[in-house]
Amino acid sequence: MTPFIKTFIALYLAVFMASMGIGILAPILPSYIDQFSVSALLLGIIFGSYSAARTLLMPPIGMLSDRFGRRRFILSGLLLFTVVSPLYSIAVSPLQLIVVRFTHGIAGAMLMPVAMSAIGDLTPRGKEGFIMGSFTSAFFAGLGFGPLIGGYMRDMYSMTAAFYSMGALSLFALLFTMVALPRLPTGKGQVNLSNERQGGEGRDKDRKNVLLDPALMGLLFFRFTRAIGIGLVWVILPLFAMKSLGITAFQVGLLLSANTFITTLLQSPSGHLSDKIGHRKSLAGGSVLACSAVASIAWARNFNDLLYASVALGLAGALIVPAGSALAVSLGRTRGMGRTMGLYNSSLSLGTMLGPVIGGALLDFADVHTVFITGALLGILGWLVLIVACPPKAITD
């Protein structure tokens, strides 16, 4: 077994188990927080504190992993996942929940972007969509199983049991990764190798001006607006479904799992398709489908309506995720892989942080139609900015 395959399998299973733990929260946390009688806006702030930590910390952690190596950050993130998970069960106020969610976000900042950087370091040219699509399917597979487990345990046992299950999964992921993950080449070494191929001065200039890079900024803005829609679906949809449509926590878990399972199953073939037809075309098709599905939630009247929207979102994610990750890898080769992946995932977290806050505010002062139509319009705006700011030649520079 080659070092690449060993690394891929170890990181795939680690991300899968950690994201399964995160997914457990999706169908139960809205109703758990609702027992504190908070407003929809405060609900969004509590949810968004997880993404706030990731937004703030992923760029510097990505740069530090370029310098000091990936493995120590991945293991530290899994350890923090394990420690923080049971703390949800003892939080007795909104402020305590915000602190727990923020700490949980610190753990997330150490895992997914650094793991993506490690895979990106080893990905051959021309295979970015297939490799990154295959790898990111771990995240979506975990999110797919997690809501089923969380919804079932909440309905059959208790919320506390679900929180401790999340901690047990994180502990298993930590122990497995400590044993199975081989030594990784440092991100710094990968940067130097790229310098030899492309010229050190060009890379140094790109790294200094990364925030002024139109192609990268276009990709980040697209990721950000896409994430706002994700935040609305994962936070406002469960609240809307359970309080307005009378849907159970397990049914909400089914909705969220249908979305992520479809994305998971189609990641690799969609990534291969993206490599063949072009990543920008995959992003275009996925964006139109995703924005239409988000808007349709506003008119849902029963479980079946939400299921159709969830399936459409899963198909859209299968087109968007590998293509977007492939663009990030291509740009990362000349901007610094850890730095680029940190910014790329940070833009996702910023969107998922603001999505619940925006959705909560709109729900308090307007209605559910306004919430999801706003999410759809922002998604279209993000795609339009991407196609203008990131032309094909920018990807090959």
Identity at 360, one-letter amino acid code = G
Q: Which domain, by its residues, includes 356?
A: 3-177+202-396
For the whole model, what pTM was predicted? 0.68
Cα 248 to chain center, whole Å?
25
Domain contains 194: no
First to last CA, the chain: 34
Per the structure, how many domains does the chain have?
Answer: 1
Q: Tens digits of per-residue pLDDT, 233-277? A: 877 888 788 878 888 877 887 887 788 788 888 888 888 888 888
What is the C-alpha separation between 23 and 356, in angstroms, rounded? Answer: 16
Domain contains 183: no
Q: What are the phi and psi torsion angles at 157 (to 5°)?
A: -125, -95
Domain contains 232: yes
For helices 94-122 and 71-84, what crossing angle results, to 10°?
150
Domain contains 197: no
**pLDDT greater than 90 at residue 308:** yes
Q: Tens digits of per-residue pLDDT, 55-72? A: 888 888 878 887 887 888
* DSSP per position, 65-108: HHHH-SHHHHHHHHHHHHHHGGGGGG--SHHHHHHHHHHHHHHH
334: domain CATH number is 1.20.1250.20
SS3 199: coil
**pLDDT greater than 90 at residue 312:** yes
Location of structure tokens 């489908």: 289
Domain contains 239: yes
Q: Tens digits of per-residue pLDDT, 151-189? A: 777 778 777 787 888 888 888 888 888 887 777 655 444
> What's the whole-number average pLDDT of the chain?
80
For helices 3-25 and 71-84, what crossing angle results, to 10°?
20
Q: Output the pLDDT for position 201.
A: 42
CA distances from 133 to 85, 154, 327, 379 (A): 28, 32, 11, 21
What is the C-alpha separation between 104 and 294, in angstroms, rounded? Answer: 27
The beta-carbon contacts of 307-314 under 8 Å, at least 24 apart in sequence, are: 307/254, 307/255, 307/258, 310/255, 310/256, 310/258, 310/259, 311/258, 311/259, 311/262, 313/233, 313/259, 314/258, 314/259, 314/260, 314/261, 314/262, 314/263, 314/266
Domain contains 195: no
SS3 116: helix
CA atoms within 13 A on the CB side of 291: 20
